[in-house]
Structure formats: structure tokens, C-alpha cells
Amino acid sequence: MPLEDREGLAARYLIVNGDDFGLSAQGNAGILHAHQHGILTNTSLMVTAPAWEEAVELARSTQSLGVGLHVTLVQGRAVLSKQHLRAIIDSEGNFAHDPTRAGVQYYFSRRAREEIRVECRAQLERFLETGLLLSHIDGHLNIHMHPVVMDTLLALAQEYHIPAMRLTREDLTTSLMLDPRHVLRKRWESFVFTSLARTTEKKLHNTFIPHPDHLFGLHQSGAVDESYLLGLLPRLQAGVTELYCHPARLPCPETERWTPTYRRDVELAALTSPTVRAAAAEENIRFVNYRDLPSLRIGARD
């Protein structure tokens, strides 16, 4: 049952999450600026990325920013060494660059599945060792939605009391209405993640782990500009929506290396736009972070 605001209307809550916290100093600066001067409320920390320790210090001094774990099992480094992860990392400690190739291996290789379990635990423990309050868990390139990874995280959730998780599925009709470009890619993404979400949602419900009701950002990764946000805000539904994005200051060699097509500076400008903030106020959108999710009685706890 959706919550109601003071006027008796169904309330609309929005989590704005900055992914890739810790990837670079410029990314850290963009996320912090978007939080302090814009609408960003939450972020997801990569605990093995080049600037992760700086990100932790920034988060410690910014208590209002929710911080979750951005589980990294593709396009990044592992916490554990090659001695422990013989199947899933190279000699320099890096995961596979191709998410499809990695996903197939993680599903069919027994050794890979075992190594995923120990690496996920190691990343979670590294996060907890920082002393930061864990807001939620999601995955780099949404790898957390992979069945093997999700089952691993759900097992850890019982042990570590993981408070919330991202459920990656996006309404394709709304996405194409907001930006009709890249139709084939978006349709393929929708097919894959909608299929994964059907099973994942049941698992989250059965383990009493909350998740947002709706999500945007999957089909718009790297292109969440002002026009997109102004179109999205009036279309938000009752309940809690997560919008995830990737703001950063440019130039940034590290982010450009991994995502050369992402317009991270444009996203940063959109998140701090006075026009966007005014539109959100006009629509009576309530900004929250993942730490608020359990108390809002939504998602898996309905």
C-alpha cells in the first residue's frame, strides 16, 4: 500500500544514486558536488577502485550522503589475490572486461562460483571495515543481478544484515518516451533485466530485503541530462523510485578509459540544475536515500 502525503495523495519518493564512487578523484568530486549542491542523495562505493580510500574519507565527513557497496566482479580489481581467485581474475588481479563472457563463466564454472562467494564476502567486509553505515548493495554494470551473484549476496544478507538492494528493471515504454534513441540496445537490456528481475524480486521478498519500487538509469547510463530529468520527474509513480547516474568532473582519464561515451559532466550539470530542483519541488517529489528505505514500509517489506 503506497504511503500518502499530507494532502492524502500517494507520495512519490526519489533516491538519486551516484554509481562508481571511488573510481577516480574526479568522480568522487562530482558525486560529492551533486550531493551538496544538487539532488543526489546516495552513492555506491567500489572498494577496490583507484580512489576508493579518498571516497571513504569524503563519505565520513558527509553524514547526509547514503553509501552502499558497488559489488565489482567485472571491469575492475578484486580484493583477494590470484592465490585465492585462480579462475576469475588475471595475473594482475583484474576481472574480465567483457560482462557477457564473465557472466557465462560465473554461471557454468563451479570454481568460479566458489570464488565469487569468497570475493563478495571480502568486498563486503572491506566496506564494513571503513566504519561507514552500509545503505544497500548493488553491482557494477548491475552484476549483482546475475543469478549466482544474487544468491551469494542473499546468503551474505542473512549473516551481515544487508539493509536493502537494488532491483534493476526499468519501464521500457517510459524510457523510450523520454529518449527514443538506441532502441535496439534498450530493448535488449529490457529483455535481459526484466527476465532476471522476475526471479530476483521473489528472492528479495522471501528474504525480507527491501528494494525500490521503480528504477531509471539503466537505459540512460551516461546520458542523464537536464531534459531527461525534466521529463522524468512528472512521470514518477507512487512509492520509491531509484535513479542511478554517473556524475564526474572532466577531464578524467580513469572514467574515460572505461566509459568513453558517458557524458558524466553533463550528468553533473543536470543533477545540480536549479531548473531541475524547481521542477522537483513543483511535483512535490521527496528526496530520500537508501537508509530511509526500511522505514518507508515499501518494496520487499510491503
Tens of pLDDT, residue by residue over 194-210, are: 999 999 999 999 999 99
Alpha carbons within 13 angstroms on the beta-carbon side of residue 270 total 25
Q: What secondary structure letter does DSSP report for 1?
A: -
What is the C-alpha to C-alpha distance for residues 81 and 85, in angstroms, rounded to an integer? 6
What is the C-alpha to C-alpha distance for residues 40 and 269, in angstroms, rounded to an integer? 12
Q: Which domains does the chain have, with CATH numbers?
A: 12-301 (3.20.20.370)
Helices (H), the chain: 25-37, 52-60, 99-108, 110-129, 147-160, 172-178, 183-206, 226-232, 253-258, 264-271, 274-282
Strand-pair category, 214-216 with 239-245? parallel
Q: What is the chain's length?
A: 302
pLDDT in tens, 99-135: 999 999 999 999 999 999 999 999 999 999 999 999 9
pLDDT of residue 1: 34
What is the C-alpha to C-alpha distance for residues 157 and 223, in angstroms, rounded to an integer? 32
pLDDT of residue 2: 45
pLDDT of residue 154: 97
Other CB atoms within a 10 A radius of the CB of residue 55 amount to 27
Grid cell, residue 190, equals 529490457
What is the C-alpha to C-alpha distance for residues 142 and 140, in angstroms, rounded to an integer? 5
Does position 67 have pLDDT exceeding 90, yes or no?
A: yes
With bands split at pLDDT 50, 70 and 90, how would you rate the model's confidence at 6? very low
Does position 279 have pLDDT exceeding 60, yes or no?
A: yes
pLDDT of residue 17: 98
pLDDT of residue 3: 53
Phi, psi of 90 (to 5 degrees): -90, -175
Average pLDDT, the chain: 95
Q: Would you say the pTM of this structure is higher than 0.75?
A: yes
Other CB atoms within a 10 A radius of the CB of residue 163 amount to 18
pLDDT of residue 296: 86
Does position 181 have pLDDT exceeding 80, yes or no?
A: yes
What is the C-alpha to C-alpha distance for residues 82 and 94, in angstroms, rounded to an integer? 9
Does position 8 have pLDDT exceeding 80, yes or no?
A: no
Residue located via cell numbers 562508481 = 20
281 Cβ contact list (under 8 Å, min separation 6): none
pLDDT of residue 10: 83
